[in-house]
């Protein structure tokens, strides 16, 4: 059984992976636009190839982050999300009139 600190660190790690995945996706979109723009103006130029290189780097980082996130979420499927009481329990304790 894992301790509370291990669970908190795991949740924090998943949250950080989700945030960085959004950052990498944004970077990939921006570099794709930059590569398309450079290709449109002058195909085969050095700025186009640099943009394509950065696009490949960001796509690789995005892929790795998505893979790690799916693996870490798959390992946590059997654990409950939280241990709070169900919301529907309060009305059952009232006395009938």
**DSSP H or E segment with residue 71:** helix 46-75
Q: Choose among 29, 28, 21, 26: nearest CA to 66.
A: 21
Instruction: Report the pLDDT averaged over residues 82-86.
Output: 60
Q: pLDDT tens digit string along 34-74? A: 999 999 999 999 999 999 999 999 999 999 999 999 988 87
Per-residue pLDDT tens digits for 18-30: 999 999 999 999 9
């Amino acid at each position: 059984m894992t301790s509370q600190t291990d669970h908190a660190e795991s949740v924090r790690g998943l949250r950080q992976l989700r945030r960085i995945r959004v950052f990498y996706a944004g970077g990939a979109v921006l570099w794709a636009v930059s590569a398309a723009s450079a290709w449109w103006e002058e195909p085969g130029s050095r700025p186009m190839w640099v943009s394509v290189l950065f696009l490949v780097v960001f796509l690789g980082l995005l892929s790795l982050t998505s893979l790690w996130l799916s693996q870490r979420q798959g390992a946590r499927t059997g654990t409950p999300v939280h241990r709070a009481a169900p919301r529907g329990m309060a009305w059952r304790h009232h006395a009938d009139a």
